[in-house]
């Protein structure tokens, strides 16, 4: 069964890039942000009414601005994933509490998501000590989630270092680096149920990443494609590479809702129009993935 997550767990970038707010939002602004996430969720609801399979649909949403969406998804029986990392950090930091406090797990239990999501940035060329510390922290969380019978969804970004930047990075270097980072994290005790991976331009690269994710008897581990706010043409290519390679699906956010929501906030779209566009964008990527 496929998994098509509509991602809206963005927090810092949502506030600054979509709403143009710098500094902590005031109560009225917070309500507007909350309403924006509800509007995005309505787009998914309309997509379901237009034929998207509820069994494959999912929502990735944060607690801070998306509590209402999380509750609505649970009530509707839609797969729910929620983040526990603090937004906008270079290295993994918990949003609530510390590793040893148990506070972060209390927040997980309060919502009971199907998947607990963590976003991390890593590259074998990053600082060795910082990488080791991050992997140790991720392993601690991974172990705690496993003990609690919960599944980890790990979003892995592999940004280039200054010496690696080139027009060919995504084709020539990032696939190999992604495979290497996954293996190193596994060796450190990080065991996601799903790896959320930046799009790959070839079936062979996608297959290599999935093979690594499943090595050592990890046969049930899955991979999904993340959106990275990419143009539709890039996402279409990534999805067409991932599907035949055996990926489970995708988690796409801004590429689906950013432009319609910004137009709505500028007064150029009605609520119904923005919901319609979000629904159509979501259905487009489902169709591409399924080869329609």
Cβ atoms of 155 and 196 within 8 Å: the answer is yes
Assigned domain for 243 exists: no
State the pLDDT at residue 256. Answer: 98
Domain tally for the chain?
2
Judged against a pLDDT cut of 80, whether residue 273 lies above it is answered with yes
Rounded to whole angstroms, how far apart are CA atoms 134 and 131? 5
Q: Last residue of some domain: 172, 206, 222? A: 222
pTM as predicted: 0.96
Q: Is residue 210 part of a domain?
A: yes
Does 201 score more than 80 pLDDT?
yes
Contact yes or no for 139/172 (Cβ under 8 A) = no
Higher pLDDT, residue 274 or 170: 274
| 44 & 115 share domain | no
The pLDDT of residue 292 is: 57
Q: Using one digit for the tens of pLDDT, what is the confidence trace for 236-254?
A: 999 999 999 999 999 999 9
CA dihedral 206, 210, 211, 215 (to 10 degrees): 160
Phi–psi pair at 239, nearest 5 degrees:
-65, -35
- Cβ atoms of 247 and 15 within 8 Å: the answer is no
Per cent of the chain over pLDDT 70 is 100
Query: Are 13 and 21 a contacting pair, CB within 8 Å?
Result: no
CATH number of the domain that residue 101 is part of: 3.20.20.70
258-272 pLDDT, tens per residue?
Answer: 999 999 999 999 999
In a domain, 3, yes or no: yes
Are 67 and 79 found together in one domain?
Answer: yes
CA-to-CA dists, residue 170 to 131, 161, 247, angstroms: 22, 13, 18
Q: Is the pLDDT of residue 158 over 80?
A: yes
Give the pLDDT score at 149: 97
When pLDDT is averaged across residues 100-111 and rounded to a whole number, the result is 95
Quick check: is 227 in a domain?
Answer: no
| pLDDT tens track for 11-66 | 999 999 999 999 999 999 999 999 999 999 999 999 999 999 999 999 999 999 99
Final residue belonging to a domain, choices 173, 202, 222: 222
Percent of the chain at pLDDT exceeding 90: 95
Domain extent for 129 = 87-222
φ, ψ of residue 21 to 5 degrees: the values are: -100, 130
Residues 128 and 209 in one domain: yes
Same domain for 143 and 263, yes or no, is: no
Band the pLDDT of 167: cuts 50, 70, 90.
confident
What pLDDT score was predicted for residue 29?
A: 97
Q: Decide if 272 is inside a domain.
A: yes
The average pLDDT across 177-205 equals 97
Q: Do 71 and 96 belong to one domain?
A: no
């Amino acid at each position: 069964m496929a998994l098509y997550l509509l991602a809206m767990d963005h927090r810092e970038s949502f506030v600054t890039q979509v709403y143009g707010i710098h500094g902590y939002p005031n109560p009225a602004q917070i309500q507007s942000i909350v309403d924006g996430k509800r509007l995005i969720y309505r787009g998914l609801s309309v997509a379901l009414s237009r034929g998207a399979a509820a069994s494959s649909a999912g929502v990735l949403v944060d607690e801070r601005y998306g509590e209402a969406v999380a509750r609505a998804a649970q009530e509707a029986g839609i797969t729910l994933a929620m983040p526990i990392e603090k937004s906008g950090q270079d290295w993994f930091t918990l949003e609530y509490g510390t590793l040893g406090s148990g506070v972060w797990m209390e927040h997980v239990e309060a919502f009971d998501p199907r998947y607990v999501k963590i976003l991390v940035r890593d590259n074998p060329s990053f600082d060795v000590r910082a990488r080791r510390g991050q992997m140790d922290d991720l392993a601690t969380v991974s172990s705690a989630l496993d003990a609690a019978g919960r599944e980890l969804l790990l979003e892995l970004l592999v940004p280039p270092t200054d010496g690696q930047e080139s027009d060919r990075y995504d084709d020539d270097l990032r696939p190999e680096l992604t495979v290497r980072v996954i293996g190193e994290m596994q060796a450190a005790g990080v065991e996601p149920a799903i790896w959320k991976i930046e799009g790959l331009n070839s079936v062979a690269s996608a297959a290599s990443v999935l093979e690594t994710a499943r090595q050592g008897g990890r046969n049930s581990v899955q991979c999904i494609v993340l959106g990275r706010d990419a143009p539709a043409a890039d996402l279409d290519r990534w999805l067409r590479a991932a599907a035949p390679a055996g990926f489970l699906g995708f988690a796409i956010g801004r590429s689906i809702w950013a432009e319609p929501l910004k137009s709505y906030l500028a007064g150029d779209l009605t609520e119904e129009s923005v919901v319609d566009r979000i629904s159509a964008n979501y259905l487009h990527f489902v169709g591409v993935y399924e080869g329609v």
